[in-house]
Structure 1
Amino acid sequence: MIAIGVILIILGFIPHIGILWTIGMVLLVNGLVLFLPGSLGRAVAGRRLYW
């Protein structure tokens, strides 16, 4: 989710497409919020591991 967010931010920034920039920022922030508790060993969305 973090990688897709960064890609969308770059794709939105270069040709100045606002919707890609916005979606990229939302995905990036969401990915970072979910990454923090997961990296600390806490269960995220009821799952301790994803695979």
Structure 2
Amino acid sequence: MVAVVLIILWALGFFVYSTGNIIHILLVIAVIAILLRLIKGKDL
């Protein structure tokens, strides 16, 4: 659930602010969260 929220925030931020490292850091965090969730196989 957290990963989905982070991806949505990244997408919104990407279209509103086309530059900035913080947005891409959020994307990386979201991808890591999704991978961890898939590896653990647990639904929150």
TM-score (norm 1): 0.50
Which structure has more relative contact order (CA 8 Å, sep 6+)? It is: 2
More helix by share: 2
Name the counterpart of 2:10. 8
TM-score (norm 2): 0.54
Q: Does 1:28 align with 2:36?
A: no
**Structure 1: stretches of 5+ with no match in the other structure:** 42-51
User: What's the C-alpha RMSD, in Å, of the aligned pairs?
Assistant: 2.1
